[in-house]
């Protein structure tokens, strides 16, 4: 007779065992599954919950090219009189609030790095005290276990999400990169605005054990991709570090840059303006356009309520919603400057037309209609044409200032002319 053994479990214990097994199986499956859209969405939805996962699961996630982003805080702020830089205000919002809004656009798990301990699961405290930004980078890579993190310092209130998006894109292109950081047009690198790989940990740990907290020394030991603002056509202004009261007060002096696209009628001013708006907006710049029309125009469509109000004798109308407003006011002697206050939050204001204005400008010229320059010579920064001056018989070469000449397709070069003027 064959012996058999039976195991009897209390119903509650059996249920707990089944639940535990199912939980383990779920985590194992998640760890082994290849990177997919579902996983990426899951991580976005479970923002800030990664720290609650077991260490083994976090290590598995690191192997699956899962990224996050970090707002670096916790400096001594000695040059700011000990005040927490993350809580300084710019245009009614704290630096922390402004930067977090931008980081949220990356749709990645978001963490904060601080030197001091916190009960907030979103906040990662330094594992090694007194190591500065390098200690924060090390601690976040170590604790989250993600394969890469994008970091930005809390003293960069003008940070734009595009900087993080480009760094992550570059990291995804080349799997062997250890870091992706930005370099401004003056040649300075910005190591606390960049992406770092989980692979940096051994080098990081060794350097910190040597009590060397210099991020620049770390970069010399890593395989680094440099993103240049001049080649990427983004403003250097976005990298402004606010570390002193003077730097903080200078923020009030920041105003939208003004640049005109001018020339004769039918030369392509609108086409060029549209192209610039598209390219700059795609990089995260807020661009406004003010156009001068030499002729009177009907500002509203017949049949609309505002048109009927105007026809009834109203001196002006305003139509608004939660998203926008439209103002029509009968008034003479307008100037472009009158409308600048409406766009204080813009990075760049493009003026279409206004060839006689004092603002820096691009002059647009066409073979069929342009016989000479029509703009104020001292204001022209570049010409945009569909011909080389020497190719057009009868063209008045002497009318051209000593400025570069670009084709309409040289949009990258044209963008740099605009950006390097003021931004």
User: Where are the chain's structural domains?
Assistant: 36-246, 255-422
Domain 36-246 CATH class label: alpha beta
**What pLDDT is recorded for position 390?**
74
**What pLDDT is recorded for position 110?**
93
**What pLDDT is recorded for position 119?**
56
Compute the CA torsion angle 280, 96, 91, 261 (nearest 10 deg): -10
Q: What are phi and psi of 170, to 5 degrees?
A: -65, -40
d(CA 318, CA 301): 14
Q: Tokens for 225?
A: 């991709």
d(CA 12, CA 20): 12
**What pLDDT is recorded for position 410?**
95
Domain 255-422 CATH class label: alpha beta
d(CA 99, CA 269): 35
Inter-residue contact 145 to 59 (CB < 8 Å) = yes
Q: Tokens for 141?
A: 């890579």
d(CA 83, CA 46): 32
**What pLDDT is recorded for position 52?**
47
Rg of the Cα trace of the chain?
29
Domain 36-246 identical in fold to domain 255-422: no
CA distances from 131 to 189, 215, 258, 322 (A): 20, 10, 42, 47
Q: Tokens for 145?
A: 């276990």
Q: What is the mean pLDDT of each run of 10 residues along the chain (423 residues)?
A: 42 45 48 42 41 48 72 71 80 93 94 74 80 90 92 94 96 91 95 94 92 88 96 94 87 90 92 95 93 68 72 78 80 82 90 92 90 89 86 70 88 94 69
């Amino acid at each position: 007779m064959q012996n058999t053994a039976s195991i009897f479990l209390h119903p509650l214990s059996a249920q707990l065992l089944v639940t535990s097994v199912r939980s383990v199986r779920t985590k194992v499956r998640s760890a082994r599954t290849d990177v997919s859209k579902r996983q990426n969405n899951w991580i976005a939805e479970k923002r800030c919950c990664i720290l609650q996962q077991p260490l083994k699961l976090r290590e598995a996630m690191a192997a699956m090219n899962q990224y996050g982003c970090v707002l670096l805080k916790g400096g001594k702020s000695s040059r700011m009189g000990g005040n927490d830089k993350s809580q300084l205000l710019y245009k009614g919002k704290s630096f922390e609030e402004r930067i977090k809004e931008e980081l949220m656009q990356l749709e990645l798990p978001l963490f904060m790095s601080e030197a001091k301990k916190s009960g907030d699961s979103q906040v990662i405290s330094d594992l090694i005290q007194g190591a500065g930004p390098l200690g924060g980078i090390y601690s976040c890579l170590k604790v989250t276990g993600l394969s890469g993190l994008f970091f930005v310092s809390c003293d960069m209130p003008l940070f734009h999400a595009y900087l993080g998006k480009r760094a992550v894109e570059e990291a995804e292109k080349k799997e062997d990169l250890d870091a992706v950081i930005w370099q401004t047009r003056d040649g300075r690198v910005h190591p606390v605005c960049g992406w770092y790989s989980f692979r940096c940990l051994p080098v990081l740990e060794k350097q910190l054990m040597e009590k060397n907290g210099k991020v620049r020394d770390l970069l010399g030991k890593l395989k680094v991709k440099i993103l240049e603002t001049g080649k990427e056509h983004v403003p250097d202004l976005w990298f402004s570090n606010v570390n002193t009261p003077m730097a903080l007060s200078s923020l009030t002096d920041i105003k939208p840059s003004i640049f005109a696209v001018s020339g004769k009628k039918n030369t392509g001013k609108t086409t060029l303006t549209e192209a610039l708006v598209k390219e700059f907006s795609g990089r995260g710049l807020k661009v406004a356009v003010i156009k001068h029309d030499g002729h009177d125009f009907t500002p509203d469509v017949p049949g609309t309520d505002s048109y009927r109000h105007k026809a009834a004798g109203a001196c002006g109308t305003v139509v608004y919603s939660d998203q926008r407003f439209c103002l029509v006011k009968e008034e003479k002697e307008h100037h472009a400057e009158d409308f600048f206050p409406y766009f204080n939050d813009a990075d760049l204001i493009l003026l279409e037309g206004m060839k006689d204005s004092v603002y820096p400008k691009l002059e647009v010229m066409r073979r069929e209609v342009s016989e000479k320059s029509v703009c104020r010579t001292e204001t022209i920064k570049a010409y945009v044409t569909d011909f080389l001056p020497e190719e057009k018989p009868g063209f008045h070469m002497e009318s051209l200032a000593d400025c570069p000449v670009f084709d309409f397709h040289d949009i990258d070069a044209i963008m740099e002319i605009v950006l390097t003027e003021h931004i």
